[in-house]
């Protein structure tokens, strides 16, 4: 049993909870996730470890369906039955030079610990975060504290620059192209909706900039047994939960990933009390 010690509503539908989990906290590394099981009959929901200290981990999640809604209803003092982790390979962090870290939507919470690790490793970190609208921008000050420069975008222009995160990246790469004294980033790291990560990958492929994305396929067991998180990288089958979640964006099959995230739509709508569409 894991006690919730803090609950903060960061934005509309985005909740941050701090949960007692000393064994996980002491092993956690940037890029890893946990599988949360709310009660004995609950499904396993993968959530990135957004932060940690000696005894607790911080999870930041968007209410999108049955389990995240139930998790959002829990208060400080309530318990989560099981938390498995840390799961997945940590992000490979080294001193690469300049690293661009991109987070879209709730992916901002996921890119934060990775950006911090790149900064601690001595990189120049350029952060780009974006959401649909102003009210959904989260962790701006935390991201600022670990980035040399931070760019904020909203689709509707209500905050930061109007447009998509990939537009900012394109602008940065254009500047380098026209300049004689700046150079391209050594690495781009992106987490967010599949279409956002695909757009980033398509752009950086043109410039031959190494790009890593953290994938978010549907996971059932999160231990490599069920195959539901199957992805294709370099033409080979890999499992997001045990081989990932980080993969090379230029050889990942994004179209397949997009198709597979809709695999359980009918069951999810049923669990959520909605009529299947």
Ligand X SMILES: Cc1cc2nc3c(=O)[nH]c(=O)nc-3n(C[C@H](O)[C@H](O)[C@H](O)COP(=O)(O)OP(=O)(O)OC[C@H]3O[C@@H](n4cnc5c(N)ncnc54)[C@H](O)[C@@H]3O)c2cc1C
CA–CA distance, 179 with 97 (Å, rounded to integer): 18
Among 16, 62, 115, 154, binds ligand X (CB under 6 A): 62
Of 205 and 262, CB closest to ligand FES: 262
CA distance 73 to 93: 35
Among 168, 219, 231, 249, binds ligand X (CB under 6 A): 219
Q: Which is nearer to ligand X, 43 or 202 (CB)?
A: 43
Work out whether 109 is an interface residue with ligand X (CB under 6 A): yes
Query: Cβ closer to ligand FES: 38 or 100?
Result: 38
Q: Exposed, middle or buried: residue 233 (CB in 10 Å: 0-12, 13-18, 19+)? A: middle
Q: Are 33 and 48 in contact (CB under 8 A)?
A: yes
Q: Which is nearer to ligand FES, 68 or 123 (CB)?
A: 68
Closest by CA position to 143, among listed 105, 187, 173, 102: 102
Residue owning tokens 């397949």: 256
Q: Nearest approach, Cβ of 70 to ligand X (angstroms)?
A: 8
CB atoms within 10 A of CB 68: 19
Binding partner of residue 221 among ligand FES, ligand X, none, CB cut-off 5 to 8 Å per kind? ligand FES
- Give me the least distance between CB of 114 and ligand X, in Å please: 12
- Where in 234-263 is the site for ligand FES (CB under 6 A)? 239-241
Select 104 or 244, whichever has its Cβ closest to ligand FES. 244
Binding site partner of 51, from ligand X, ligand FES, none, Cβ cut-off 5-8 A by kind = none
By the rule CB under 6 A, 61 interacts with ligand X? yes
* Among 18-26, 134-142, 169-177, 258-266, the segment contacting ligand X (CB under 6 A): 258-266
Compute CA distances 258 → 73, 196, 201, 207, 233, whole Å. 29, 11, 14, 24, 14
Spatial separation of the C-alpha atoms in residues 272 and 67, rounded to whole Å: 9
Give the N- to C-terminal CA distance of the chain in Å, as an integer: 36
Q: Rule CB under 6 A: say whether 24 interacts with ligand X.
A: no
204 binds ligand X (CB under 6 A): no
Segment contacting ligand FES by CB under 6 A, of 92-100, 102-110, 119-127, 223-231? 223-231
Peptide bond into 245 cis (omega under 30): yes
* CB hemisphere CA count around 181 (13 angstroms): 0
Residue 224 contacts ligand FES per CB under 6 A: yes
C-alpha to C-alpha distances, 242 to 112, 196, 210, 256, 261, nearest whole angstrom: 22, 23, 22, 18, 17
What is the binding site for ligand FES (CB under 6 A)?
Answer: 219-222, 224-229, 239-241
What is the binding site for ligand X (CB under 6 A)?
Answer: 33, 45-48, 60-62, 64-68, 106, 109-110, 216-219, 240, 245, 261-262, 265, 268, 271-272
């Amino acid at each position: 049993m894991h006690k919730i010690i803090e609950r903060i509503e960061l934005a509309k539908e985005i909740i941050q909870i701090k949960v007692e989990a000393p064994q996980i906290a002491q092993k956690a590394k940037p890029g890893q996730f946990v599988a949360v099981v709310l009660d004995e009959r609950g499904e396993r929901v993968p959530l990135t470890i957004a932060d940690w200290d000696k005894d607790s981990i911080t999870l930041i999640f968007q209410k999108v369906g049955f389990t995240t809604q139930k998790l959002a209803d829990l208060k400080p003092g309530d318990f989560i039955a099981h938390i498995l982790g840390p799961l997945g390979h940590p992000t490979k962090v080294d001193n690469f030079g300049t690293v661009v870290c991109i987070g879209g939507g709730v992916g901002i919470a996921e890119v934060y610990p990775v950006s911090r690790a790149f900064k601690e490793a001595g990189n120049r970190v350029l952060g780009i975060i974006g959401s649909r609208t102003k009210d959904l921008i989260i962790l701006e000050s935390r991201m600022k504290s670990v980035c040399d420069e931070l760019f904020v975008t909203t689709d509707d222009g209500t905050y930061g620059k109007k447009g998509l995160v990939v537009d900012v990246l394109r602008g940065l790469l254009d500047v380098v192209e026209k300049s004689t004294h700046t150079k391209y980033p050594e690495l781009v790291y992106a987490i967010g909706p599949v279409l956002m990560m695909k757009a980033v990958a398509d752009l950086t492929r043109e410039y031959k900039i190494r790009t890593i994305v953290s994938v978010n396929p549907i996971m059932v067991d999160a231990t490599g047994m069920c195959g539901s998180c199957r992805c294709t990288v370099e033409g080979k089958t890999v499992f997001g939960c045990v081989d990932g979640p980080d993969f090379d964006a230029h050889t990942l099959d994004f179209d397949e990933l997009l198709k597979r995230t809709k695999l359980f739509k009918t069951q999810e709508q049923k669990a959520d009390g909605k009529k299947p569409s």
